[in-house]
Structure 1
Amino acid sequence: MTTAPTPEIVDETEWPRNGAPSDEVLFKGPPTLSRRTIMTTTVVCFLAWVFSVYDFVLFGTLLPKISETFGWTTGEATAIATGVTVGTFVVSLLVGPMLDRWGRKPSLIVTTAGAALSSGFTALVGGAASLIGVRAISGLGYSEEVVNSVYLNEMYGKSRRRGFMFSFVQSGWPVGALLAAAFAAVLLPLMGWRWIFLLATFPVVIILIAGSKLRESPSFVALKRTRELRAAGRETDASRLAELYNLDISRDNESGLRQLFAPDLRRHTLCLSGAWLFNWMGIQVFSVLGTTVLTDGKGVSFSSALVVLILANLAGFLGYLFHGYLGDRIGRRTTIMVGWTIGGVVMTAMLFGPNNSAYVIPMYALGLFFLNGPYSAMLFYMGESFPARVRGIGSNTAHVMGPVGAIIGSALLSLVIGLGADATTAAFVAGALGMFLSGVLMLGARKVSQDEDDASVAPAAA
């Protein structure tokens, strides 16, 4: 068995901030990244995710006001929202290949800019067609979390707290959602919805400037160089560089999708994609349509349901931190399986338990804790479960199944109710059952070593 060469201790100052270092420096091995670099990258990724979520959630929050402006009926608004979801799905497909070919840092900038553009252009739309086209760009912002998972996985290396560190970044979802709700509530009486979307672009400009000053992942720099060496016929040098950075380049000359469905990754890709699809059925039913489930299915008043949604974001925030911490200790794959399985059981107990607010509200919040929280472990797990050569397209292929699951969840909920079932039974079939199945599907995903380094911040590795 061939043992990888022992890399030298390389300081990051030997690497240029933009561009690749010389081969002399590159072949010394991955640099030791400073705490300042790690912290700066973490903060920028967190803010990029917050404002990507802000744009993503703001559209749903303000859709009723947009509908009033254009005179759309509820049915028309729903159809337009479905069109936006389809457009989001199509655009988000671009992010995986971008990550693996352009790089992690450029992808961070493009996806964040996509969130800014979708917000800014939404302020200028003149009707349904332009709105669907403009909001499709938000697929870039939606996929910003995939960029974070791939980029930070490589920047954190084998730090023993890397999952917990990433959970803070992923917690940008409830933060962004609450910001969107707060800004809409405060600013809508003072200005129209167009101005609210326009104002959302300015913080992102600052993030883009900060993002341009970040370092590219050393793993991607090395991966890109191995491709150049192989193209030049220098296979021995390419293999030596790949060993130094722990890169698997055995199938790197094949297309990304073909690699994902090759025998070594096929089951993992299918199970991970299925887990995203089924779990997003639960997201759609209990998060997006949570108010409807609580009011129609459990008899909770509308005002109480709104309070619950605020508590839900708090539960999600705490859930991200808890599952990020737990993933570092018992393994991220195990954490995801256990979390989503428990979540499915809790939501089932909530649905078929007493119609009493004192029972329903705590159980609903607990269910969301186990529904949303495991995503901090899931996003980071995806980054470490695929080899660097397909880390972007692999993670994104599973990730884009989320909107598909949301569409199926809504359709199934409507179908079951249309067949005569009550809202409680429909929510179980379309939501709770999907949560449970997503946890079961994770059994087929790859087991990943989470060996720790002694240092709190270790050299970046693929």
Structure 2
Amino acid sequence: MREPIDRACTVDVQEFIDGQRFSVFHCVLFVLCFLIVALDGFDTGAMGFIAPSLVQDWKVPRESLGPVLSAALVGVGIGALLVSPFADKIGRKAVLAASVFFFGALSCATAFSNSMDALTAMRFLTGLGLGAAVPNAVTLMSEYVPARIRGFVVNAMFMGFAAGIALGGVLSAWLIPVFGWKSVLLTGGVAPLVLAAMLIPLLPESVKFMVANGRPRERVARILQRLAPQARLNGCAFICEAKNPVDTARTSPVLQLLSKRYLLGTMMLWLSYFMCLTVFYLLTNWLPTLFKASGFTLHGSAMTSSLFHVGGCVGILLAGWLMDRFSAIRVVAFFYVLTAAIVFVTGRNVAHDAWLTALIVVTGVALSGAAASMAPLAAEFYPTTSRVTGVAWMLAIGRVGAVVGAFGGAILMGLSWQFASIFSLLAVPSLVAAFALVVMARSAAHNERTSTDTAPVVATRS
């Protein structure tokens, strides 16, 4: 039974967090979460960097690497679906530290694989840990950052993924000639193990999770004191924004996503992110080939394609900045509409090199900005009691879109589709993604109007 709220000393943890400046506490949390996402990027790109050496050392055909390269992606999806719900039940910190340790240990073990089957199996298991790590990092960061800067900070954290891939390329170029391809996997394994050891003393548990799950007030107060040392919180009761606490406390996180209140929004989030990654991974995997087929030199194809990701870095920060000032859903939907318009125009300007280069940069700004903003958007949509699960399941569904995009590009190229036709086609899923967010926004607004039970969840004493 919950303890009655002491109205003389009651602290709404969201209002408390929103009232703080971005402090050393936030900086430490940001660095830890940034490193987690960066290690995800490093591991994601690792197999691509070591593939040529693997083919040479093991004398295997290149086409046999397909299962190895995709095994981690499958593991990530399953890990997100199965492991992340535990974070909404036992806590973000425990699952996050365990998942980082798990994928670090498995990455080290992968380096000692002696067959393609063993390598594929180990990459799949590594993916399970990765699938649980990133959703937890996104959720924990979003739950501690003041609302006025949340979009910008969480999106900036997501830039760690690109940084990790870039670092992987640099280190691979140095490590493989000297120590062999296994050294890349060992590096990508030892680093998470070290980070997992740092997470235990440095990473805070989510106070919103603690309040929503009735953890002792004293523990909540101690964490908030780290955030604001000057605050006097002894003896205070703590409340959070969760609505319908009786229902959410007894319902599994997965069932909450599919409940009447969230079902339509959940479906629309999944549809939007699926379409987003379909477009993103088709472009990421096939842009150089499309440019080469359109008459660009090999160097020109690589350089122009890289500008897509340069624009992406700008778009991630711009989208986050705009989300903090306007409706987050409308901002992301606008970025999708902009993507649709730009890819349609791009397909009709392939003959103009300078204009095409500019359009590719803007495409990266719009599409990457939308893609990176979906996770914080999902974290904002779901309640504390199912937030990690909501983010994780959306990311898992998006992985299916990534596979569709990669294979879809191959199918379209096999059908002899040209640059203009493919880019024009990409406007369709971009518009579908925008439409899905509009429907989601209307559903959320309707739920807000019809909600009658807004009793706060309260932290109790042990």
TM category (shorter chain) comes to 0.7 to 0.9
CA distance in 2, matches of 1:242, 1:396: 31
Larger proportion of helix: 2
55, 61, 84: which one pairs with 1:96? 84
CA distance in 1, matches of 2:102, 2:441: 32
Q: Which deviates more from structure 2 when the two are superposed, residues 440-449 or residues 321-330? A: 440-449
Query: Are the structure 2 counterparts of residues 142 and 364 from structure 1 closer, same or farther at C-alpha, using a change threshold of 3 Å?
Result: farther
Kept in 2: contact 1:261–1:269 (CA 8 A): yes
Kept in 2: contact 1:145–1:170 (CA 8 A): no
73, 89, 100: which one pairs with 1:85? 73
CA distance in 2, matches of 1:375, 1:421: 26
- Equivalenced residue count is 417
Q: Compute the displacement of 1:142 (Å).
A: 4.7
- Equivalent position of 1:123 in the other structure: 111
Kept in 1: contact 2:346–2:356 (CA 8 A): yes
Kept in 1: contact 2:33–2:157 (CA 8 A): yes
CA distance in 2, matches of 1:283, 1:139: 23
CA distance in 1, matches of 2:378, 2:423: 28
Residues 184-225 of structure 1, C-alpha deviations (whole Å, 9 max, x = no match): 223332231111221223332332232112211111112222
Residues 66-113 of structure 1, C-alpha deviations (whole Å, 9 max, x = no match): 233333323322344344432332223234212212211122213322
TM-score (norm 2): 0.81
Secondary structure at the counterpart of residue 329 of structure 1: coil
CA distance in 1, matches of 2:357, 2:131: 29
- Equivalent position of 1:40 in the other structure: 28
After the TM superposition, which residues 51-450 of structure 1 pair with which residues of structure 2 at under 5 Å, given as runs? 51-136=39-124, 137-156=126-145, 158-213=146-201, 214-225=203-214, 244-248=239-243, 249-252=245-248, 253-296=250-293, 298-422=294-418, 424-426=420-422, 428-429=424-425, 431-446=426-441
Name the % identity.
18
Q: Compute the displacement of 1:45 (Å).
A: 0.6
TM-score (norm 1): 0.81
Residues 307-355 of structure 1, C-alpha deviations (whole Å, 9 max, x = no match): 3344333322221111110110112111111112211221232233233
Kept in 1: contact 2:77–2:396 (CA 8 A): yes
Kept in 2: contact 1:168–1:321 (CA 8 A): yes
CA distance in 1, matches of 2:392, 2:435: 21
Kept in 1: contact 2:276–2:371 (CA 8 A): no
Query: Are the structure 2 counterparts of residues 330 and 345 from structure 1 closer, same or farther at C-alpha, using a change threshold of 3 Å?
Result: same
- Equivalent position of 1:18 in the other structure: none
Kept in 1: contact 2:76–2:132 (CA 8 A): no
Secondary structure at the counterpart of residue 330 of structure 1: coil
> Once superposed, what is the RMSD of the aligned Cα atoms?
3.1
Secondary structure at the counterpart of residue 179 of structure 2: coil
Q: Compute the displacement of 1:168 (Å).
A: 1.8
CA distance in 2, matches of 1:76, 1:268: 40
CA distance in 1, matches of 2:291, 2:128: 29
Q: Which deviates more from structure 2 when the two are superposed, residues 96-105 or residues 112-121? A: 112-121
Secondary structure at the counterpart of residue 244 of structure 1: strand
Secondary structure at the counterpart of residue 188 of structure 1: helix
Query: Are the structure 2 counterparts of residues 179 and 142 from structure 1 closer, same or farther at C-alpha, using a change threshold of 3 Å?
Result: farther
Q: Which runs of 4+ in 1 moved over 4 A?
A: 4-7, 29-34
Secondary structure at the counterpart of residue 160 of structure 1: helix
CA distance in 2, matches of 1:367, 1:395: 25
Query: Are the structure 2 counterparts of residues 159 and 5 from structure 1 closer, same or farther at C-alpha, using a change threshold of 3 Å?
Result: farther
User: Which residue identity is paired with 1:434?
Assistant: P
Kept in 2: contact 1:285–1:427 (CA 8 A): no
Residues 106-146 of structure 1, C-alpha deviations (whole Å, 9 max, x = no match): 22213322442343223122222222221122243255332
Secondary structure at the counterpart of residue 421 of structure 1: coil
